[in-house]
């Protein structure tokens, strides 16, 4: 007679085998006209009803045009912590977005699907701005996503608060000294408002410090001709950027009282009228309207002052990517959706106007400043197409748009970027919370810490 | 074994009373109810196996691997442990966790005991006081932290700063300053957790024989003498358990630093669990799960050794 334990083990083994085979048989084929269902990232959690209505309208249009594809939508916001676990756990949407900062690392890690053949079949495949597309390519030229919505960093400001403080919102500050002076006036005349503040938490402190360092002509990492990357945050421009922050905080007392702000926290504070000026992506207005109740008429955007040799504007953007766990059929459907939702509105007049109309009908901002994904001519053409649908006061962002296309655009540091930003968070926080913070020592510590990671290839 | 005779296969055993029974076999095991026991035990074994033991074993394996949970894992030996020890933030996290545990011990450990003793002396509305004490435990932790974030608003109009203003004290930075951040977190954590411990102490206090207090009173003891000579000795068993539970709990503090400060300002509140979280999810895209599990295992080992030593040291006291 068999031992009951053996019987149980044998039964469990048989069950596991059945489940395994069932899992294998569930893998669909890749026929192009078969019914396929994919999950796509919709909007960030907390977006307004109107924003979701606009998104859902686009989904319906897509499903009408592609009857064999069913879309399931899922609220999504890129964060490092959730991404890797969602991917590993199989709960990541088939189509999602990742920031430029991270796309290279993710594709090298094998965490993004190779969609080269699908992208090459698109009519505009060769028209991409090479520098922009490179964020989604590996060294052999394979494509792992399509870039969209590239932005340049600017200075967002609250026009209503400017007026309250007796400042002219049509003449935003153009030098760092003017930013500091205006911030001081605002904090003195409008109690409880931080005249100027930067993000400090969840790696955004480092991101914004990189922005203000670039604006002064500095760089945080340099790569020589042999490909060796040197981390050098201990440089005069970064120190100047930190000194500026220190002056705003400790000399002028115009940085407010909350020094632990991440991206969402800062946007909330700006939307609540607690912060008057902060460095942001040029496209942040969309999120400010969708989640923070900011009125476009109260919003202003200007360029960050560029000083010194090599000064440039830090740029970023998003890559629409496909889950590495998607099947071939899902991958093909996913690229169709990316083409429809993210790219067509940049290259096809009908789609561009349709997308803008849907947004405008839902009171979503149309005309938010971004950078060209393709060449400048395509970008200008697209701006012309949507001209009649633009619903934000373009004069409010004119201080930015009038200058940005003549400013040098510089990509983010490319090695261990998130670790670098995370380490710099602590430095920025130290400057804002400790009057006697030893910046030299702190920056040297960051250099050695991140250089070790770069050298180790982690 | 002196009373039982050793038999060869198939022979019967003779018990001291002279009766005979079959030697142990699977059949006797099943007839004796073994299978039934196993079937009843099975759900528990499966749940523990799947949700508790398997992850532990997987964590141990992962601690010697480099993996992003998507591409195949590679064996890296003790590299993850070396990486953890070389990380300057590791020692910062150890220091911060130690500070949190110490502050929680100084302020958070005696408070529930004091409150429980006071509440046990209350004649009327004892239930109301118990409910009030336990209320913070019922509030979802995230909600509690959001609430306390308002309290800790560092502007002069913040809740606590307004109260301080009434008594002529200048606004405090609370969680916005490296020095005051950790005590602020301990204060909230004590508020949030004290209720549970108070209920345990109140239950234990009901087990103290009233005659002991009567005897002490006859001997002319003051209330403090009664607490010192009667209450505390009678509660020592419970006190010992709550002490080690508190040490283990505070060594694994995560929620408060994560939600209040995310480890800031300037890493002043980064704790070991938060560092584990950062390794796994925050900094390294794709996750440095190897370093995260390595540090988890180090922490688990430390706490296991600490608990063992603690119970060895306090065994005699507890028994007596």
Taking the alpha carbons at both ends of chain B, their separation in whole angstroms is 35
Task: With CB atoms and an 8 Å threshold, state whether A110 touches B68.
Answer: yes
Name which of B86, B177, B262 is nearest A202 (Cβ-Cβ).
B262
pLDDT of residue B285: 55
With respect to residue A27, please indicate whether it lies within any of the assigned structural domains. Answer: no
Mutation site, B161, B286, B289, interface A, largest A CB count within 10 A: B286
CA-to-CA distance for A457 and A455, rounded, in angstroms? 5
* Domain contains A95: yes
Mean pLDDT over the full length of chain A: 88
Domain contains A123:
yes
CA A95/CA A73 separation, integer angstroms: 10
- The angle at the Cα of B125, spanning B119 to B129, to the nearest 5 degrees, equals 45
pLDDT at residue number B104: 94
Instruction: Output the domain CATH number for residue A50.
Output: 3.40.190.10
Of A4, A111, A324, the CB nearest to B35: A4
Chain A residues with CB inside 8 Å of B258's CB? Answer: none
Q: Are residues A206 and A322 in the same domain?
A: no
Tens-place pLDDT, residues A4-35: 444 344 444 433 333 333 333 333 334 456 79
**Do A418 and A285 fall within a single domain?**
yes
B 93-112 residues with CB < 8 A to A: none
Question: Across the interface, do A433 and B265 touch by the CB < 8 Å criterion?
Answer: yes
CATH of domain B79-319: 1.10.3720.10
The pLDDT tens digits for B167-219 are 999 999 999 999 999 999 999 999 999 999 999 999 999 889 989 989 998 99
Q: Are residues A279 and A344 in the same domain?
A: no
Q: What is the mean pLDDT of residues B7-22?
A: 52
Q: What is the pLDDT of residue A101?
A: 82
pLDDT value of position A199: 97
User: Does any CB of chain A come closer than 8 Å to the CB of residue B3?
Assistant: no
Is A271 domain-assigned? yes
Nearest to A342 by CA among A132, A30, A80, A91: A132
Is A156 strand, coil or helix? strand
A177 and A124 part of one domain? no
> Domain check: are A293 and A328 in the same one?
no
Please judge whether A192 and B155 are an interchain contact, meaning their C-beta atoms are less than 8 angstroms apart: yes
Last residue within a domain, chosen from A346, A361, A376: A361
Contacts of residue B153 in chain A, CB cutoff 8 Å?
257-258
Residue extents of the structural domains in chain B: 22-62, 79-319
Report the pLDDT value the prediction gives residue B318, as an integer from 0 to 100: 63
Q: What are phi and psi of A146, to 5 degrees?
A: -120, 125
Instruction: Select from A43, A70, A68, A67 the least CA-distant residue to A54.
Output: A43
Q: Are strands B74-75 and B65-66 parallel, antiparallel or unpaired?
A: antiparallel
Q: CA-CA distance, B243 to B110, in Å (whole number)? A: 10
Point out the domain boundary residue: A305, A338, A361: A361
Q: Which of A111, A258, A452 sits opposite B154 (nearest CB)?
A: A258
Percent of chain B with pLDDT over 70: 90
Distances (CA, A) of A164 to A156, A169, A292: 17, 10, 20
Name the one residue in this structure whose structure tokens are 């899902």: A330
Mutation target to probe the B interface, by most B beta carbons within 10 A, among A105, A194, A207, A258 is: A258
Asked if A265 and A410 sit in the same domain, the reply is: yes
- Which three-class secondary structure state does DSSP give residue B248? helix
Question: Closest chain B residue to A80 measured between Cα atoms?
Answer: B282
| Residue A326 located in a structural domain | yes
In B, minimum Cα distance to A262 occurs at: B262
| Residue among A257, A263, A452 with most chain B CBs within 10 A, to mutate | A257
Q: What's the pLDDT tens digit per position in B267-296?
A: 999 999 999 998 888 765 557 889 999 999
pLDDT surpasses 50 at B4: no
SS3 state at A257: coil
Give the total number of structural domains in chain A.
Answer: 2
Does the pLDDT value for residue B119 go beyond 80?
yes
Which domain, by its residues, includes A251? 153-315+402-456
From A424's Cα to the closest Cα of chain B, the distance in A is 9
- Axis-axis angle for helices A263-271, A284-292 (nearest 10): 70
Q: Are residues A251 and A198 in the same domain?
A: yes
Residues of chain B found within 8 Å of residue A105, distances taken between Cβ atoms? 285-286
pLDDT at A414: 81
Cβ-defined contact of A80 to B281 (cutoff 8 Å): yes
Is A427 close to B261, i.e. CB distance below 8 A?
A: no
Q: Residue B21: its pLDDT value, please? A: 58
Contact A232, A448 (CB under 8 A): no
Cα A46 to Cα B89: distance, rounded to the nearest angstrom: 34
| Closest Cα in chain B, distance from residue A102 (Å) | 7
Cβ atoms of residues A314 and A213 within 8 Å: no
**pLDDT per residue over B208-253, tens digit each?**
998 998 999 899 998 889 889 999 999 998 999 999 999 999 999 9
Picking from B278, B233, B274, the residue whose alpha carbon sits closest to that of residue B256 is B274
What average pLDDT score do residues A75-83 get?
A: 80
Partner A contacted by B130 (CB < 8 A):
no
**pLDDT digits 0-9 by tens, A166-225:** 999 999 999 999 999 999 999 999 999 999 999 999 889 999 999 999 999 999 999 888
Burial class (CB in 10 A: 0-12, 13-18, 19+), A29: exposed
The neighbouring-strand residues paired with A300 are A157
What is the reported pLDDT for A359? 85
CA distance A1 to chain B (A): 8
Nearest by CB: B282 against A5, A80, A434: A80
Q: What percent of chain B has pLDDT over 90?
A: 68
Q: How confident is the model at residue A376 (pLDDT cuts 50, 70, 90)?
A: confident
Look at residue A371 and tell me if it is in a domain: no
Of A369, A381, A295, A345, the closest CA to residue A55 belongs to A345
Closest-CA distance, B135 to chain A, in angstroms, reads: 29
Alpha helix locations (H) across A32-99? Answer: 49-65, 80-89
Last residue of a domain, one of A361, A394, A418: A361
CB contact B88 to A (< 8 Å):
yes
Phi, psi of A224 (to 5 degrees): -85, 180
* Alpha-carbon gap, residue A150 to B74, rounded angstroms: 36
pTM equals 0.82
Q: Are strands A69-74 and A36-41 parallel, antiparallel or unpaired?
A: parallel
Task: Decide if pLDDT at A48 tops 70.
Answer: yes
Q: Which residues of A touch B91 (CB under 8 A)?
A: none
CA distance B228 to B97: 31
> What are the chain A neighbours of B154 within 8 Å (beta carbons)?
257-258
Provide mean pLDDT across the span B4-29.
Answer: 60
What is the tens place of the pLDDT at every residue in B140-163? 999 999 999 999 999 998 999 999
Q: Give yes or no for residue A1 having a pLDDT over 80.
A: no
pLDDT value of position A215:
97
pLDDT at residue B170 in the model: 94
Q: Which pLDDT score, from 0 to 100, does residue A108 have?
A: 80
On whether both A431 and A355 belong to a single domain, the answer is no
How far from A448 is each of A201, A217, A230, A445, A458, CA to CA, in Å?
A: 21, 22, 10, 5, 14
**Are A283 and A304 in the same domain?**
yes
- A328-359: per-residue pLDDT in tens? 999 999 999 999 999 988 888 988 998 898 88
Please tell me whether residues A410 and A289 are part of one structural domain: yes
Residue A204 located in a structural domain: yes
Closest CB to B285 among A84, A258, A452: A84
The confidence score (pLDDT) of residue B32 equals 87
User: Is A15 a member of any domain?
Assistant: no
């Amino acid at each position: 007679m068999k031992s009951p334990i053996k019987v149980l083990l044998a039964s469990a083994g048989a069950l596991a085998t059945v489940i395994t085979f069932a899992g294998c048989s569930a893998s669909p084929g890749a026929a192009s006209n078969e019914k396929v269902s994919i999950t796509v990232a919709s909007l960030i959690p907390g977006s307004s009803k109107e924003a979701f209505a606009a998104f859902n309208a686009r989904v319906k249009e897509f499903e009408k045009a592609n009857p064999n594809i069913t879309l399931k939508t899922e609220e999504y916001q890129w964060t490092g912590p959730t991404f890797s676990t969602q991917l590993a756990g199989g709960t990541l949407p088939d189509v999602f977005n990742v920031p430029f900062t991270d796309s290279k690392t993710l594709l090298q890690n094998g965490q993004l699907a190779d969609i080269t053949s699908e992208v090459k079949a698109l009519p505009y495949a060769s028209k991409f701005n090479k520098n922009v597309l490179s964020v989604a390519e590996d060294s052999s030229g394979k494509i792992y996503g399509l870039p969209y919505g590239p932005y340049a960093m600017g200075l967002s400001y609250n026009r209503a608060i400017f007026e309250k403080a007796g400042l002219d919102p049509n003449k935003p500050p153009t030098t760092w000294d003017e930013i500091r002076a205006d911030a001081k006036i605002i904090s003195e005349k409008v109690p409880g408002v931080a005249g100027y503040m930067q993000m400090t938490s969840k790696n955004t402190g480092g991101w914004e410090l990189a922005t203000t360092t670039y604006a002064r002509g500095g760089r945080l990492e340099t790569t020589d001709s042999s490909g060796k990357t040197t981390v050098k945050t201990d440089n005069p421009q970064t120190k100047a950027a930190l000194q500026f922050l220190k002056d705003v905080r400790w000399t002028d007392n115009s940085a407010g009282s909350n020094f632990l702000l991440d991206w969402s926290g800062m946007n909330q504070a700006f939307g609540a009228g607690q912060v008057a000026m902060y460095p942001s992506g040029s496209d942040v207005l969309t999120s400010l309207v969708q989640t923070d109740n900011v009125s476009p008429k109260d919003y202003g955007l200007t360029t960050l002052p560029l000083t010194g040799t090599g000064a440039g504007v830090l740029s970023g953007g998003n890559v629409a990517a496909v889950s590495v766990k998607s099947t071939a059929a899902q991958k093909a459907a996913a690229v169709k959706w990316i083409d429809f939702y993210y790219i067509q509105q940049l290259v096809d007049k009908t789609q561009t106007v349709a997308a803008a109309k849907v947004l405008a009908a839902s009171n979503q901002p149309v005309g938010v400043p971004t950078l060209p994904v393709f060449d400048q001519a395509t970008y200008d053409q697209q701006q012309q197409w949507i001209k009649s649908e633009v619903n934000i006061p373009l004069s409010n962002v004119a201080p930015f748009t009038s200058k940005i296309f003549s400013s040098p655009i510089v990509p983010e540091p490319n090695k261990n970027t998130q670790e670098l930003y995370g380490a710099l968070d602590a430095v920025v926080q130290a400057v804002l919370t400790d009057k006697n913070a030893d910046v030299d020592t702190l920056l040297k510590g960051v250099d050695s810490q991140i250089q070790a990671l770069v050298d180790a290839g982690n | 074994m002196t009373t039982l005779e050793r038999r060869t296969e198939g022979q019967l055993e003779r018990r001291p009373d002279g009766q005979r029974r079959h030697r142990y076999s699977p059949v006797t095991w099943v007839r004796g109810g073994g299978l039934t026991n196993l079937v009843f035990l099975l759900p528990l074994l499966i749940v523990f196996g799947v949700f508790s033991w398997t992850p532990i074993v997987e964590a141990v394996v992962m601690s010697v691997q480099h993996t992003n949970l998507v591409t195949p894992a590679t064996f890296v030996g003790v590299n993850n442990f070396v990486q953890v020890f070389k990380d300057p933030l590791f020692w910062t996290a150890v220091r911060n966790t130690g500070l949190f545990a110490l502050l929680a011990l100084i302020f958070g450990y005696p408070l529930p005991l004091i409150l429980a003793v006071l509440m046990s002396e209350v004649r009327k509305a004892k239930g109301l006081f118990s409910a009030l004490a336990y209320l913070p435990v019922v509030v979802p932790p995230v909600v509690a932290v959001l609430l306390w974030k308002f309290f800790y608003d560092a502007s002069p109009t913040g809740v606590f700063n307004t109260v301080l203003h009434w008594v002529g004290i200048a606004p405090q930075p609370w969680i916005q300053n490296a020095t005051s951040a950790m005590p602020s977190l301990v204060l909230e954590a004590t508020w949030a957790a004290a209720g549970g411990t108070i209920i345990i102490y109140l239950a234990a206090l009901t087990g103290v024989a009233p005659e002991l207090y009567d005897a002490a009173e006859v001997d002319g003891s003051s209330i403090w003498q009664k607490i010192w000579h009667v209450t505390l000795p009678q509660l020592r068993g419970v006190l010992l358990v709550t002490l080690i539970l508190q040490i283990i709990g505070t060594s694994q503090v995560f929620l408060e630093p994560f939600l209040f400060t995310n480890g800031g300002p300037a890493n002043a509140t980064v704790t070991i669990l938060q560092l584990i979280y950062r390794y796994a999810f925050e900094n390294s895209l794709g996750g440095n799960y190897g370093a995260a599990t390595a540090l988890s295992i180090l922490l688990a080992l430390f706490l296991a050794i600490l608990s063992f030593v603690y119970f060895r040291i306090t065994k005699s006291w507890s028994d007596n």
